[in-house]
Amino acid sequence: MASSAKEKPDLNKKVHEVPHKPGVYLMRDRFNRVIYVGKARDLRKRVGSYFMPSKIAQADLKTRALLDAVWDFETHTVASEPESLLLEGKLIKEYRPRYNISFRDDKRFLVVKVDQTEEWPRFRLARFKKDDGARYFGPYAHAGALRQTLNFMRKRFGVLTFGRGSPTARELKSSTYQVPMRLSEISAEQYRERVAQACDFLEGHSREMMKALEDEMKSAATRLDFEKAAELRNMLEDLRRTTKPMRRFTRHTLPSAIDPEADVRALGDALQLPRLPVVMECFDISNISTTHVVASMVCFRNGVPDKDHYRRYRIRTVEGQDDFASMAEVVRRRYSRVLLENREANPDAAEFSQESPAEALERSKFVAVRLPDLIIVDGGKGQLSSACRELQRLGLHELPIIGLAKEYEEIYRPGRALPLLLPRDSGALRLLQRIRDEAHRFANSYHQLLMKKRIGESILDDCPGVSQNRKNLLLRRFGSVNRLRRASVDEIASTEGIGPKLAEEVHRFLQTH
């Protein structure tokens, strides 16, 4: 009974303690449950706006219900807006607040809608199929490919995409906007014939058109017009992604079981490697924000993850976001370390000075760390070239290495101008995708770990008297904010550069924040 009579706290005073920094805020109800998570470029301005009388008076029903339910809030500062976006999504998925509608796992795919009751029907994108008499196609999983397909349809069939209503003056007269014919030169009935052809195309009756594009691509490659061939190849890939039905996995349509050893043999054959890629190492760079650029190296042995040999790196020598330089640094650090450890394990190997490092390892009596049979870098020509230069400097230029570009799963190899494209259903490609995706997952998990630690440490930025240098001294001494919070005033004061008075201030601040 006492709890129900508890007065709602006045949060305006607490708002004045919120810093003018980017971050994430959590709204809690009277039972301390998180009911809303939001991000802001300026936390004080955003959070303060919720408690302004004008905001409450003008709020819609949903916002008013949220404001009535809020009994407390908390904020977390971050270094940049991208970090706040990432943290917001993470917290929404963790708490699933009732008033949030985005970042949910039940995200819907896009559909294409065409309302044939209109005089000049347009092809538009939508999230939901409605019972409104319009015709719907989809859903489609690949939003980017779908938009490119609509651009192709506009040019190939001369149909309207996006927008609303009858054609604008620009759409009617512009031959560059509506390729290949001007809409002003045809009637609405003739236009409807085009719409019908485009609908047939979206329904999958597109084989002849795909074949014509494929022939045109091959012809361009024969003429050595590789730029045109690549453009047509990308267009074909987008069309195939869009017109291919979405797979709905049921008990009867699950993918076939993975056979790692068979996939390893298939990959060795596809890449024409000198020996089977029993040991593979794959590198990925994660630079979601410039605060922490990190890299991962995952190892697969006989086609399955060998987690004991995974490694993760914080990029040290690169300013900002530079995937090429970051890839060079991590490859250099990984294999210079391998060579050093093996040299220490075989101190008498120096007498064979004419041998390459790889040959010396082959002959060594004891190998501390084995060199991989294949190196994979996540990326295209730029990442591959950066990695190859570092291997060359280390004398490991004979190690097999490839780059795997994600968008079209193109395999780049040193000294080859054109990428290798493996069949989508080949075991070799599936193996490469598994190791690449694992490297991506491992890099992102490390990135999130560092960001979570950074968010925890950022509370010290608001502590009076704690400069960046003193913050670093405290974190170096205690390891984390949680350990610092548990420390006594005397323990804090014993830190270099922290006097008794500041130690008391830090201790009091952490107990109240």
Residue 452 lies in a domain: no
The total of structural domains in the chain comes to 4
pLDDT at 243: 57
pLDDT at 244: 55
For residues 498 and 474, what is the distance between their CA atoms, to the nearest angstrom?
Answer: 8
Residue 105 lies in a domain: no
Residue 103 lies in a domain: no
Neighbouring-strand partners of residue 403? 377, 412
Q: In terms of domains, do 312 and 424 share one?
A: yes
Q: In terms of domains, do 403 and 265 share one?
A: yes
pLDDT at 178: 47
Q: At 412, list the tokens.
A: 């780049």
10-residue mean pLDDT series, the chain (513 residues): 59 88 89 88 89 72 81 85 70 79 50 84 81 78 70 78 73 54 74 82 67 76 73 67 46 51 93 93 78 84 92 84 90 92 71 62 66 93 93 91 87 89 88 91 78 60 76 75 83 84 84 76
Residue 170 lies in a domain: yes
State the residue for tokens 């407390």.
72
Q: Which residues, 6+ apart, have CB-to-CB distance to 268 below 8 Å?
A: 275, 276, 277
Q: In terms of domains, do 232 and 273 share one?
A: no
Q: In terms of domains, do 45 and 163 share one?
A: no
For residues 283 and 311, what is the distance between their CA atoms, to the nearest angstrom?
Answer: 9
Domain range for 499: 463-512
| In contact, 291 and 80? CB cutoff 8 Å | yes
pTM value surpassing 0.85: no
pLDDT at 208: 63
Secondary-structure breakdown of the chain: helix, strand, coil percentages, each rounded to the nearest 5: 50, 15, 35
Q: In terms of domains, do 38 and 157 share one?
A: no
Q: In terms of domains, do 285 and 415 share one?
A: yes
pLDDT at 355: 65
User: How does DSSP classify residue 420?
Assistant: B
Q: In terms of domains, do 366 and 434 share one?
A: yes
For residues 322 and 452, what is the distance between their CA atoms, to the nearest angstrom?
Answer: 23
Q: In terms of domains, do 331 and 435 share one?
A: yes
State the residue for tokens 């290495």.
401
Q: In terms of domains, do 33 and 145 share one?
A: no
pLDDT at 179: 46
- Give the CATH number of the domain where residue 428 resides: 3.30.420.340
pLDDT at 151: 79
| In contact, 26 and 37? CB cutoff 8 Å | yes
Sheet strands (E) in 268-408: 279-286, 294-301, 304-305, 311-314, 374-378, 401-405
Q: Could you give phi then psi for residue 136, rounded to 5 degrees?
A: -120, 145
